[in-house]
Each structure stands twice: as structure tokens, then as C-alpha cells.
Amino acid sequence: MQKNVAVLGSTGSVGRQAIDSIESSGMNIVLLTGGRNIALLAEQVRKTHAPVCAVPDVELASDLRVLLSDTEVRVYGGPDAVCKCVEECGADVFVHSISGMAGIPSALAASKSGGRLAIANKESIISVGGIIFDNVRNCGGELIPVDSEHSAIFQCLLTSGAIDARGYAAPDMVKRILLTASGGPFFGKKREELDSVTPAMALAHPTWKMGPKITIDCSTLMNKGFEIIEAARLFGIHPDRIEVLVHRQSIIHSMVEYIDNMVIAQLGSPDMRHCIRYALSYPERMKIDEMGLDFFSLEKLTFDRPDTETFPLLDAARRAYKMGTTAPAALIASDEEAVGAFLSGQIGYNSISDVVCETIERFKPHDECTVENVYDADRSARAIARGVIEKYKLF
């Protein structure tokens, strides 16, 4: 049966690659949602023949209707437009690639659909993952991770049968998760060498092509800190049993070590489309005609320990997890504020970690992790972070 697919956040890096993957698979796109880039969204709607599209801004929706005025496409706009379309579009699969905390409402809506949630939005899993998992189970749906590392872990666990009905790693079989990291553009540098780093330098990722926010997070290792929490949530394993390995070649996407000390790894070229295709076609695999991984071109595969003195945000993520409840949401919010300040030239590169670490130190987590408390934590952490940013401003 042909699958109907909705792409949430179609104009972003993962969303664009998702459309490529869906089109090559012959699946049918029934909904596209975007942010501010309505010109690209209109182009995507025309190309895919999606009958419905939505943006969270009423005025931009009006402009989008003008761009699509010669079509019969239904355009929706407003704060609740994306969630309403998610509820009504009838998709079998939701590829969720909306970036940041802004993706939480639509992730919650998609988790209640009874369909498949192919999720690339790690912020939702980190902050309200328990609620999303409950929704998916209660509504008869399923969740497949799209992040390359978590897709790799999922595939490794399936290969060995070390995964239960919830998607958790079997505790009597799994010793550790080995989470690989590229190390970003500043691998091997010391903190004092990073004082003069510019946004352009930080955006030059050595292996992956991604959006600006996640690229900066990869350079600070914050993204890997997020992925530690994400893996803990997805696979029911404590972060103390998740080890990060810097693997510069980005060929091994992650590994699972078992109680008998055997290790299963998932390898592939650094291309997000592989993970998207797997999430779309699971439990089957999609046949691809293009050339696969050329082992003879690989000179070597290397592994190094992360430098947590130069890049302290890995430890900040572990600390936020241990604080519990809404602290991981505060971690995300403070990082969004800090990265935004860096990209706009307000603070230096090293100040990103200073702002995040100080915000987490001052943040008081809620007693319970509810959706309302997560939003409150987001507002509170942003307020704290903005105050800290003032201390580190360059002008």
C-alpha cells in the first residue's frame, strides 16, 4: 500500500532531504509545513503536488496563498495551524524535522495520530519524550528515530534482538551504547585557541551538511550532549552507560556493546537521506541504485576521547539529565539563546558554553515534567540566559 507522508519543517535541511527521499520512493506527500521561507515552501508544494500546506504565521500564510493562487492547494496559517493540519491530514507517516523547541506542539500532535512518527526533532524527545512515547503507545502508533546516531543504535539493537516492545535496550543484553561524534571543525583545539572563532568558521562542518543552529551545536559538542539525553530517553538506558567517541570520518554512526563484549556497528556515508529512507520504509529497506559505501577509499577509521575541558557542554548535558524533570528543556532553551547571540555577533564563541553552563547552574527544575512545566522552564531559562548574555556581550 502506498504511504501518505507529511513533512513537518519541509524547508529546513532535513525536510529538504526528506522530500528527495519520499519522491524517489514513490510515496505520496499529503502535507508540507514550513517556517518563514514561504518562497521555497511554495516551490516544494508545486513540485510534490501536496494538497495542503501550513505555516505558523497568519501574514505569511496570506502571502503564501498569493504565491499559490493559481493552484487548488489549501493554505493554513496561525499558531495552531500546523497542529490542526497534522490532526486532519490522514498521513501514515509524519517526518518531523521542525527545529528546536518550536517543534514540540506538532510532535505531540503527531504522536496522537496512530501513525508513524519519524522524528528528527531531538528537542521534543529530550524535553517531553515520556509524554510522546505514552501517546504513541496509547494511540497505536510507532516512533522511529531519524537522527543518524539514533537510527544506527536502533538498527544495531534490532539486529541482535536486544530491544523490547517499547523500543528500549534489553538490560540483560546491552552493556553500553557507543555514540559517535565527528568532533566538528575545532577538534584538537584548546579553549584559548577558540577565542577568535567567527560564525563562518563554526559553520564550516567537516563532514555533514546541516542547518546553522545544529552546525554550531556540533562544533561545541552541545549536539552530542543532546544526543546523550535523546539516546537515554529513546532506549531506556542511563547516560552513565552511554560513551561518546570522536570519530572524524563519520562512517560509523554509532555502536552497541553487549554483555559478552561483542560490538555491533552501523556504517554508511554521512548522508541523512539514509536515515530518512529507513524511517520511511521500516521494517523493510528501500532499494537504492546509487553507489554505496566504498570501503577501498577509506584509509582509516579513528576514535578519540572528547575534550570536555575545551568543550564542557557534554558534561552540562549529563548534569541536566541528572537534575531531571524540566532541566533538559532549560538546557535546550539556554543553548538556543546562546547560539543566537553568537550568530548575531553579540558574544564570542567560548561564551556559548559559559552562558549555557551558568544558566543551568542557576535554573531550578520543576517537581514534575508536564507539558505546561516544560514551556514554563523554556521561558524561565531563556530569561536567565539573556541576563547571562549581557555579561558576556562584546559591545
pLDDT at 291: 84
Q: Is 246 helix (H, G, I), strand (E, B) or coil?
A: strand
H or E segment to which residue 243 belongs: strand 242-246
DSSP category for residue 367 = S
H or E segment to which residue 78 belongs: none
For the segment 4-17, what is each residue's pLDDT rounded down to a tens digit?
A: 999 999 999 999 99
For the segment 148-193, what is each residue's pLDDT rounded down to a tens digit?
A: 999 999 999 999 999 998 899 999 999 999 999 999 999 999 999 9
For residues 359-388, one letter each, b for 16 or more C-beta atoms within 10 angstroms of the residue's C-beta and e for the rest, the string is bbeebebbeebeeebbbebbebbbebbbeb
For the segment 220-270, what is each residue's pLDDT rounded down to a tens digit?
A: 999 999 999 999 999 999 999 999 999 999 999 999 999 999 999 999 999
Calculate the average pLDDT of the chain: 95
* pLDDT tops 70 at residue 66: yes
Residue 207 to residue 7: CA distance in whole angstroms: 25
Domains along the chain with CATH numbers? 4-145 (3.40.50.720), 152-297 (no CATH), 324-392 (1.10.1740.10)
pLDDT at 210: 73
For the segment 274-328, what is each residue's pLDDT rounded down to a tens digit?
A: 999 999 999 999 998 888 899 999 989 999 999 999 999 999 999 999 999 999 9
pLDDT at 320: 98
pLDDT at 133: 97
Residue 203 to residue 217: CA distance in whole angstroms: 10
pLDDT at 289: 84
Going by pLDDT thresholds of 50, 70 and 90, the confidence category of residue 127 is very high
Residue 10 to residue 116: CA distance in whole angstroms: 17
Q: Is 377 helix (H, G, I), strand (E, B) or coil?
A: helix
Q: Answer positive or negative: Cα dihedral of 246, 11, 276, 25.
A: negative
pLDDT at 292: 86
Going by pLDDT thresholds of 50, 70 and 90, the confidence category of residue 208 is low
pLDDT at 52: 98
CA proximity to 143, closest of 162, 171, 170, 124? 124
DSSP codes, 166-216: TSPBPTTTEEEEEEEE---TTTT--GGGGTT--HHHHT--SS----HHHHH
Q: Check if the beta carbon of residue 177 is closer than 8 Å to that of residue 236.
A: no
Going by pLDDT thresholds of 50, 70 and 90, the confidence category of residue 209 is low
Among 121-130, 203-212, 337-346, the least confident range? 203-212
